[in-house]
Amino acid sequence: MDFENAPRIAAVTPEAMTADQRAAADALAAGPRQAVRGPFAVLLHSTGVFGPAQALGAYLRFESTIPARLRELAIIATARHWRQDYEWQVHAPLARDAGLAEAAIAAIAAGDVPQDLAPDECTVLDFTRQLHATGQVDDETFTRAQALLAPAGVVELCAICGYYAMLAMVMNVARNPSPPNPSAFS
């Protein structure tokens, strides 16, 4: 067995769920995600984390004031930063469907700077990359982000970066298997 790549924390299976886990899983499945999978199957080990985390994620993904194209751009940039295949494999197609150019997605996957981004995409990508790299953003990038998204959108963009970083960390530590697609990163 390849212990280096073996899951450290297995997904909670329906057969093994406690009553609290079942209730939490049922609440998630009743919402827009419709099923427990990926990081949520690992987060179920702590229902105290699972419930608030999935509620925050549902807001950020399905109700955020940030347009889907920009939101998905921030998510895939976060997935790339954390080298998280599961989040990449889920969100790269969503970014494409939301209107992000294939060339931009490919450049982000390769760790490159995409060419020909729209100004709003440049702002969100610069903000996301700076926040992950340094824990801050410079004044010029903040000013552009605030002009684009207003203060509420800047807060939501920070929350998107933090939320998807948390999911990436959980999945990277758990070493829970990604979907059966080729790895997004080398």
pLDDT at 62: 92
The mean pLDDT value for 109-120 works out to 94
Fold type of domain 68-171: AhpD-like (1.20.1290)
Please name which of 85, 89, 111, 90 lies closest in space to residue 172, comparing C-alpha atoms: 85
Mean pLDDT, the chain, as a whole number? 90
Report which of 146, 169, 3, 1 is spatially closest to residue 86, judged by C-alpha positions: 169
pLDDT tens-digit readout, 135-160: 999 999 999 999 999 999 999 999 99
CA-to-CA dists, residue 55 to 27, 28, 63, angstroms? 10, 8, 11
Asked whether the predicted pLDDT for residue 23 surpasses 60, the reply is yes
- Comparing CA positions, the residue from 2, 7, 28 lying closest to residue 17 is 28
pLDDT digits (tens, 9 = 90+) for 55-110: 999 999 999 999 999 999 999 999 999 999 999 999 999 999 999 999 999 999 99
Domains in the chain: boundaries: 68-171
Under 8 Å between Cβ of 131 and 141: no
Yes or no: say if 35 and 29 are a contact pair by the CB < 8 Å rule: yes
